[in-house]
Amino acid sequence: MIRSHRLMPLALAALVGVGAGAAALTMLPGRDASVSDLDAGRAQDALRAATSAGLPDGRWRIVEPMWTRERLLARDPLRDGVVQVLLPERGAGAVLPAPRGDLVRHLLGDIEQFLHAYRVVVGPVVEGEGASRSVSYEWTKPGIPGSPTRRVWFDARSGQVTRVVERDARGDVLRSLELVSRDLGGWVPTPVPNAIVRQLALGREQVPDFDDFVARVPVPIYEPSALPPRFHRSDWGFDDRAPKGDTAGPLPLAWIAYTDGVVRMNLFVTPPAQMRRLEALAREQSTAAGRSGCPTTGADTPQELVEAAGSILVLRRDDGCRVVLRRDDLPDAAVALVGYRGLAPDDYVRTVRSLVRVVAPKPKPGEVPLHAEDRR
């Protein structure tokens, strides 16, 4: 079985948001390559501790280039490991539960991978006084031009994360999260029913080993032989249910996600005959780490043929928020790579051009293929 996954966010999808707010962001002092090992270690410890404890209760504003959303977060009254999320624009009854760790991962990605790939270059920066006093640090990928940055603010007294701002290499805001108030505005969460808690537990079933996954899925698996610096394979899954709104029957679909801890890309693989449906699905994907509030890419968005002497042809459709890259030359699979802002366009092109077929190990005795009951 495959656990329910963040690639097709159900409850967690409602958390994504985008918007304005760049003008209000405090500018950092210049980067200082001499941040001490002691301060860097403190920053790492603070981030690990804060994300392990979970985000504090209150009203959060999530800002991206094309959306702004506010969400109220509160721990379940009976289960500290469950967070309830209120969607204000949908009314008082629009409450979605999520495991605390999954919510943090959805919003902030893989923290250990982030700390492996990124280094503290600014901090500690102390701001405010009294109850509003905070300490912040900024991370980037050292020695890699064009890398995004992430700055994290911690409450000076509690150590809780209260704000996150991610920027691209030009300084433009990719995304920000901010605790704007600890007041829940009169909302009093009630305990999540036991049946829902059991469903959340089912959604956390263990992902199979990648070799086992490759051997069991009924579609050939391709992977990049060259990834952007400090990216790695982070998640994978399979489903053969029809996508929502698709009436053409089952769609066997394998996916693999890659991340550096901030930026994420998703690779989809399906049989060649399903390319049209795959592209339609890819054009409405939101990124799995809570990043993208991209609207569905219009079918009339221009599709570009990326050519270079002696190179594999790539079809690219870029709406300014999401980029979908496709290859039509593979004999046994249709593939699409979905990326978002934070990487240079050429990085995505090089990645999809480097795809190679993954050789599946021999199935173990008693293994069966993954099937429709498995959940993404």
Residue 124 lies in a domain: yes
CATH at 329: 3.30.200.100
116: in domain: yes
The answer to whether 94 and 85 are in contact (CB under 8 A) is no
Is residue 89 located within the same domain as residue 131?
yes
Question: Is 342 found in the same domain as 308?
Answer: yes
Radius of gyration of the chain (CA): 21
Name the least confident of 3-12, 224-233, 240-249, 360-369: 3-12
- If you ran DSSP here, which 8-state letter would residue 187 be given? -
Shared domain check, 161 and 32: yes
pLDDT at site 294: 56
The beta strands (E) that lie in the chain are given as: 58-64, 67-75, 82-86, 95-99, 119-127, 134-140, 149-155, 161-167, 173-181, 222-224, 232-239, 253-259, 264-270, 303-306, 314-318, 322-327, 334-340, 355-357
pLDDT single digits (tens) 302-352: 566 676 656 788 888 776 677 889 988 899 999 999 987 788 888 999 999
- Asked if residue 265 is part of any domain, the answer here is yes
Confidence of residue 371 (pLDDT cuts 50, 70, 90): very low
Whole-number Å distance between alpha carbons of 149 and 260? 12
SS3 107: helix
Higher pLDDT, 148 or 30: 148
Q: What is the CATH number of the domain that holds 109?
A: 2.50.20
Residue 363 lies inside a defined structural domain of this protein: no
Question: Which tens digit of pLDDT belongs to each residue from 180-232?
Answer: 999 998 999 999 888 888 777 655 556 678 998 998 899 999 999 999 989 99
pLDDT tier for residue 27 given thresholds of 50, 70 and 90: very low
240 shares a domain with 182: no
pLDDT band at 366 (very low <50, low <70, confident <90, very high): low
Whether the pLDDT of residue 144 is over 60: the answer is yes
Judge if 230 and 322 occupy the same domain: yes
pTM strictly above 0.75: yes
In a domain, 376, yes or no: no
User: Is 27 domain-assigned?
Assistant: yes
Q: What DSSP character marks residue 13?
A: G
The whole-angstrom distance between residue 274's C-alpha and the CA centroid of its chain comes to 25
What is the domain extent for residue 315?
210-357
Q: How far apart are CA 72 and CA 15, in angstroms?
A: 10
Burial of 305: CB neighbours in 10 Å, binned 0-12, 13-18, 19+: exposed
Domain check: are 54 and 177 in the same one?
A: yes
Tell me, yes or no, whether 285 and 335 share the same domain: yes
**pLDDT for position 28:** 40
Do 111 and 193 fall into the same domain? yes
State mean pLDDT over 56-68. Answer: 89
Overall number of domains in the chain: 2
Judgement on whether residues 234 and 187 belong to the same structural domain of the protein:
no
Give the integer Cα–Cα distance in Å for 87 and 95: 6
8 Å CB contact between 86 and 95: yes
